[in-house]
């Protein structure tokens, strides 16, 4: 488990799947994601089995916040397409619980994942794509050190319009660890 001042990142479990199905069937959440097709619990079960077959560092992590009643799952994050030869990975994140949007949790989770990439996995680059209309996510990525590198023009069609997909990345040499980051001994 990885912790930050307000979050913990933990392994996902089968019990999380109904929550994921709720998130990934919510158009407000999926408008920011590549997958917009409705999901069933059976779809998520199949996905979970495929995830369990991956190496640990390629499995998504649940993002939790502490509330009075205990830890609450608000999202998930993980590395995709890790390229060990060239030392880079693609980062994905979703805050699915909308009541936790705009409170800095996404920024903190991204900062933690970048720190894990550079200090634990010994990667040199973390990249991602974000749609041009997702201003909240872009701000979170910029706060974590990501820079705009390019765009895939009109890569997303949503609500009758085409949108660009922005390519962003942070390099180890550019990265400044957050003040709360403590490397794992």
- Residue 80 in any domain: the answer is yes
119: domain CATH number is 3.40.630.30
- Residue 49 in any domain: the answer is yes
pLDDT for position 179: 87
- The total domain count for the chain is 1
pLDDT for position 180: 87
CA distance 157 to 178: 36
Q: What pLDDT digit, counting tens, does each position of 9-35 carry?
A: 999 999 999 999 999 999 999 888 888
- Judge whether 147 and 174 are in contact, CB under 8 Å: yes
Residues in the chain: 185
- Residue 174 in any domain: the answer is no
- Residue 44 in any domain: the answer is yes
pLDDT for position 183: 66
Could you list the residue range(s) of the whole structural domain that residue 88 is in? 2-123
pLDDT for position 185: 55
pLDDT for position 37: 84
- Residue 146 in any domain: the answer is no
- Residue 136 in any domain: the answer is no
Report mean pLDDT in 10-residue bins for the chain, 185 residues: 93 96 93 86 94 92 94 97 97 96 96 96 97 95 96 94 97 92 69
- Judge whether 130 and 137 are in contact, CB under 8 Å: yes
Name, in order, each residue with C-beta under 8 angstroms of 40's C-beta and a sequence gap of 6 or more.
Answer: 21
What's this model's pTM, rounded to 2 decimal places? 0.93
- Residue 150 in any domain: the answer is no
- Residue 87 in any domain: the answer is yes
């Amino acid at each position: 488990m990885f912790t930050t001042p307000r979050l913990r990142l933990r392994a996902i479990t089968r019990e999380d799947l109904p929550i994921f199905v709720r998130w990934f069937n919510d158009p407000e959440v999926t408008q920011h994601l590549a997958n917009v097709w409705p999901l069933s619990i059976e779809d998520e079960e199949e996905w979970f089995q495929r995830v369990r077959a991956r190496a640990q560092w390629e499995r998504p992590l649940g993002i939790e916040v502490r509330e009075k009643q205990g830890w609450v799952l608000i999202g998930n994050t993980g590395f995709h397409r890790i390229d060990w030869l060239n030392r880079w990975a693609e980062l994905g994140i979703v805050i699915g619980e909308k009541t936790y949007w705009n409170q800095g949790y996404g920024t903190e989770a991204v900062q933690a994942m970048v720190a894990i990439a550079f200090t634990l996995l010994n990667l040199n680059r973390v990249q991602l794509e974000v749609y041009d209309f997702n201003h909240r996510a872009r701000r979170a990525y910029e706060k974590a050190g990501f820079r705009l590198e390019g765009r895939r023009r009109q890569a997303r069609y949503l609500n009758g319009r085409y949108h660009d997909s922005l390519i962003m990345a942070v390099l180890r040499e550019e990265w400044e660890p957050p003040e709360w980051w403590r490397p794992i001994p």
